[in-house]
Amino acid sequence: MHKRGQVTVFIILGIVIIALVGILFFFRGEILGGIFNTETSGLFTSADIEPVKDVVQGCVEITLMDAIEHVSNQGGYNSPIVSNFYSRDSYGVPVVYAWTCDGGTRLPSLDALGVQLNLYMTDHRQEIVDCIDQGTEIYRNSWIIQNINDFSLGDASISENYVRQRIYYTGANVLSVKKGDYVATATEIMAELNIALGQAQEMAAEIASCFNGDFEGVSEAYNSYCNIDGVPFRVELYNMRNYRNVVTLLHHNCDPVEDDCYHLLIPAPNREDILFNVALKTC
């Protein structure tokens, strides 16, 4: 009888253990499902427009960075034409003259730089669309995403250390994300890069002002680096005076030799410095 009682106890314990294991597996599935927000089909159980907006923002920022590099390499212009207002730097890159013998600067203002960036972005719109399609593919099996590629781009806004690009969804083309009773919309998304393009443009303007002698927009300290010992612009003196600048200024020879050229190296995250070319014609 004693042995039969022990067997019964072990059977009961085994049943209890199996039941506990089953319960643990059940709750484990419930917990993990809540953490990862997925159904058994692997779809998202709830919709959210924020990750969709993040994809759009990220894709625009990738092309915006390319636009900044392209336009900076060419002295502030998207597509310089061949004329006596243009030159080539030591690498053979066409460079816009910041100042020309017929008078007047060819260096774009900050607003004009924004227009040039927009021209590049428009030319490369399909790259943005392809990036968005790839980035939102994970959500499309779960959510209804409408008008995501029906965006328009304003001219980039450039400050000393930031470049901002607005993405608009207007009229009937409002960006929307739907699932069940959930509906969310967006009419505007902001892309932003911590790039000191505005500082580079300001430095280029100071160089041009030293060459043409009008000193418009140049700080009151211009006489410490402009026209010293017959040299229109002294790089080493300017760098000493403006040591807090994040943009690095370098002087180099141009082709043809009668031109004067400067490189502005703009720090960029996770990539090489962006080269802003400034060429000035010596008359």
Last residue of a domain, one of 193, 223, 250: 193
Which domain covers residue 187, as residue numbers? 49-64+119-193
Last residue of a domain, one of 134, 163, 193: 193
Strands 163-168 and 157-158: antiparallel
pLDDT, residue 181, reads 86
Same domain? 248 vs 150:
no
pLDDT, residue 115, reads 92
Same domain? 201 vs 276:
yes
Any domain includes 160: yes
Any domain includes 19: yes
Any domain includes 113: no
Which helix (H) or strand (E) is 166 found in, with range?
strand 163-168
Same domain? 179 vs 222:
no
pLDDT, residue 7, reads 52
**Per-residue tokens: 116:** 């040039």
pLDDT, residue 188, reads 96
Any domain includes 131: yes
CA 190 to chain centroid, in Å, comes to 11
Same domain? 200 vs 185:
no
Helical pair 49-73 and 197-212, crossing angle rounded to 10 deg: 20
How much is the pTM? 0.75
Query: Cα dist. 233→192, 199, 222, 251 in Å?
Result: 33, 17, 9, 10
pLDDT, residue 10, reads 58
Same domain? 210 vs 268:
yes
Same domain? 57 vs 147:
yes
Cβ pair 99, 212 in contact under 8 A: yes
Same domain? 8 vs 143:
no
**How many domains are there within the chain?**
3
Same domain? 60 vs 189:
yes
The amino acid sitting at 195 is I
Any domain includes 71: no
Same domain? 134 vs 250:
no
The amino acid sitting at 228 is I
Same domain? 208 vs 94:
yes
> Residues in the chain with pLDDT < 70?
1-14, 16-46, 80-105, 212-223, 252-260, 279-283
Any domain includes 258: yes
pLDDT, residue 224, reads 74
pLDDT, residue 196, reads 96
